[in-house]
Amino acid sequence: MRKKLVVGNWKMNGSRAANAVLLAGLREAGPWSADVAVCVPFPYITETALALTGTQLAYGSQDCSAHEQGAYTGEVSSLMLHDLGCRYAIVGHSERRAYHHESDQLVADKAKAALAHGVTPIVCVGETLAEREAGQTEVVVKRQLAAVIHTLTHCIGEIVLAYEPVWAIGTGLTATPEQAQAVHAVLRTQLHAATQKSDAMRILYGGSMKADNAVALLGQPDIDGGLIGGASLKAADFAAICRAAG
């Protein structure tokens, strides 16, 4: 039995004042039986750590460098994230793949760098609407995951995987539970061929998950939690999803 994991992805949102309200709201709303984490913008990691001290909530970043240290202006390494107590780093979010031209291999290298420093990468895969309509969903997500499997080899069992159909992110469109489950099952089968740990690995769904669709999505056999964007910015909305996961 896999314990559910709900992760908030704040994206490039927040301010010190707004974060304090949100994190205080989460402190009050918990505990939950699911594992819960928030992935916050880099500048807010330390304050998030302080605000969440003594709670069950973990925290992390929304990206990390593929490099350990050195002349990489603007980059943040997983060594630094580990130093700040981050448990997770999202890698390969579709917004980074699209706007920062991150390749499958770069995403895999970032996942490897995260693991090397004790930070669990939450590796995102997902197809665009055009790819889905062209019947390419399986091909695309399997290609994206294959790069990570190839790069991490025996460590692949240590990642968290997130299926995030690009057409469902921030659009209000959600994959039906059946659509999501079908892709999750494909991904688990691919993981199964790569590691004996696949049954213990968590595959999250992300894409306009909200309190009112969370129960049905999280009720699917291969959906082990959620990666939540918009609905993670209000404590009550996020807490309701965390409860649904419990």
Binding of ligand PEP by 9 (CB under 6 A): yes
Tell me how far, at minimum, the Cβ of 63 lies from ligand PEP, in Å.
12
Pick the piece of the chain touching ligand PEP (CB under 6 A) from 66-74, 132-140, 214-222, 224-232: 224-232
Taking CB under 6 A as the binding criterion, the range among 151-159, 179-187, 190-198, 226-234 that sits at the site for ligand PEP is: 226-234
The residue within the footprint of ligand PEP, chosen from 111, 161, 214, 227 (CB under 6 A), is 227
How far lies 235's CA from each of 29, 230, 241, in Å? 8, 11, 10
Among 120, 208, 213, 220, binds ligand PEP (CB under 6 A): 208
Distance CA 143, CA 107 (A): 12
Active-site choice (102, 127, 164, 184): 164
Per DSSP (E only), the strands in 106-208 are 120-125, 160-163, 203-206
Establish if 92 lies at the interface with ligand PEP (CB under 6 A). Answer: no
The continuous run of DSSP H or E covering 6 comes out as strand 5-9
Strand partners, 37: 7, 58
* 164 tagged catalytic: yes
Q: How many CB atoms lie within 10 A of CB 118?
A: 13
Q: Choose, by CB under 6 A, the member of 207, 235, 238, 245 that binds ligand PEP.
A: 207
The correct pick among 31, 134, 150, 170 for binding ligand PEP (CB under 6 A) is 170
Positive or negative: CA dihedral 22, 24, 25, 29: positive
- Reply yes or no: is the peptide bond before residue 31 cis, omega within 30 of 0: yes
Of 49-57, 72-80, 146-154, 206-214, the window that binds ligand PEP (rule: CB under 6 A) is 206-214
Q: Does 225 bind ligand PEP (CB under 6 A)?
A: no
169 forms part of the interface with ligand PEP (CB under 6 A): yes
Q: Which is nearer to ligand PEP, 65 or 92 (CB)?
A: 92
Instruction: Tell me whether residue 85 is exposed, middle or buried, using C-beta atoms within 10 angstroms of its C-beta: 0 to 12, 13 to 18, 19 or more.
Output: middle
CB-based contacts of 75, cutoff 8 Å, min separation 6 = 65, 67
The DSSP output letter for 3 is: P
Considering the candidates 93, 102, 131, 184, report the single residue annotated as catalytic: 93
Residues forming the site for ligand PEP (CB under 6 A): 9, 11, 164, 169-170, 206-209, 227-231
Q: Could you list the active site residues?
A: 93, 164
